[in-house]
Amino acid sequence: FPLEAVFTGDRSLSSRPMDRVLEPLRAMGADVATAEAGRLPVRLKGGRLEGLRFRNEKASAQVKSAILLAGLRAGGDVEVLEPARSRDHTENMLRAFGCEVETSESEEDRLVRLGGRRTLAATSIDIPGDPSSAAFPLVAALIVPDSEVTVRSTLINPLRTGLLATLIEMGADLRLENRRRLSGEDVADVTARFGPLHAVEVPAERAPSMIDEYPILAVAAAFASGRTVMHGLSELRVKESDRLAAIVAGLRQCGVEAWDEGDTLVVEGHGGPPPGGASVAAHDDHRIAMSFLVMGLASRSAVLVDSAGMIATSFPGFSALMTSLGARLS
């Protein structure tokens, strides 16, 4: 639409690079101006956008979604090529609202294309449980003795289940029951039960399906026996914080040997509860804060995070939910 809008953000969001989204929108004809180094604030004016064939080199679902949504009123073909499948919730939701979305795959690429029917019609939807949020009570159950937790109606879209697959490889007692479809997505009730974990090597190609879950996976790795190695984590450098650096620093403060080698994270597990007892800097990052609070539930000494208000970014009921399960958070 031919509207002009200015987008601003808090300190964390203002530090994140925006060009990966803005460049394809510019190529479609949007008028875009940014602050220094392609960061917020951003002034944008749309309307009369043209079609685009875009190669999404990082297989970013956020970039793909921006192009598809902008393309709903664009003239001409709108296509996104990716080297690997990225999260497809936007495609599923567009189809649910009546939009034609076509996909095809070759040995080199996966193509997502808007069809000719791009007018959306109102519909009713049920939102599945977010697997990135479910990860925190599930991992808590795996590391706190005598625990068992079930998270109902959890999204198990195969492009989002990398954490579950990795935890099962680590020997986690995880059960997926009552599998069904909900508003075009696969869901299940996921149950986690306390038990021993062992180290694994996580391949880089799994990262897109669990990129937000690496902080809590690193916590699980600290309790596992052996050395866990996680590859392909460069994207963690440009999240709400440099999550890779924050994970390493927090684990070391809690007595866990950890380091990064380029985009690889290595965690030496304790085969049981690590020391804990540290005050960890969350860097205004909700997932870092929640991960180390979960760690403190089962480490030998409690863990303090320097800030927790930002947890409401993605999980406003985190403290109340964890307390209802028996956690002591203060």
Interatomic CA distance for residues 300 and 144, integer angstroms: 11
Task: From the candidates 109, 146, 212, 260, give the one annotated as an active-site residue.
Answer: 212
Q: What is the pLDDT of residue 183?
A: 83
Is 146 designated active site?
Answer: no
Interatomic CA distance for residues 322 and 154, integer angstroms: 17
Cis peptide before 208 (omega within 30 of 0): no
User: With 80 as the cut, is the pLDDT of residue 132 above it?
Assistant: yes
Interatomic CA distance for residues 319 and 323, integer angstroms: 6
Instruction: Quote the radius of gyration of the chain (alpha carbons, Å).
Output: 21
Let me know how many helices (H) and strands (E) the chain has, helices first. 10, 16
Residues 6 or more apart from 28 whose CB is under 8 A from it? 49, 50, 51, 52, 67, 70, 71, 74
Residues of the chain by 3-state class (helix, strand, coil), percent to 5: 35, 25, 35
- Give mean pLDDT, residues 83-108: 93
Q: What is the pLDDT of residue 58?
A: 83
- Give mean pLDDT, residues 119-124: 94
Interatomic CA distance for residues 89 and 186, integer angstroms: 11
Q: What does pLDDT average to over the chain? A: 95
Model pLDDT for residues 5-40, shown as the tens digit of each residue: 999 988 878 888 899 999 999 999 999 998 778 899
Considering the entire predicted model, what is its pTM?
A: 0.84
Residues 67 and 100 sit within 8 Å (Cβ to Cβ): no
Model pLDDT for residues 179-226, shown as the tens digit of each residue: 999 888 999 999 999 999 999 999 999 998 999 999 999 999 999 999
Question: What DSSP string runs through 55-98?
Answer: E-TT--HHHHHHHHHHGGG-EEEEEEEESS----HHHHHHHHTT
Model pLDDT for residues 257-269, shown as the tens digit of each residue: 999 999 999 999 9
Structure tokens at 311: 């947890």
* pLDDT band at 107; cut points 50, 70, 90: confident
Model pLDDT for residues 226-239, shown as the tens digit of each residue: 999 999 999 898 77
Q: What is the pLDDT of residue 17?
A: 85
Q: Count Cβ atoms within 10 A of the Cβ of residue 223 and give its class: 0-12 exposed, 13-18 middle, 19 or more buried.
A: buried
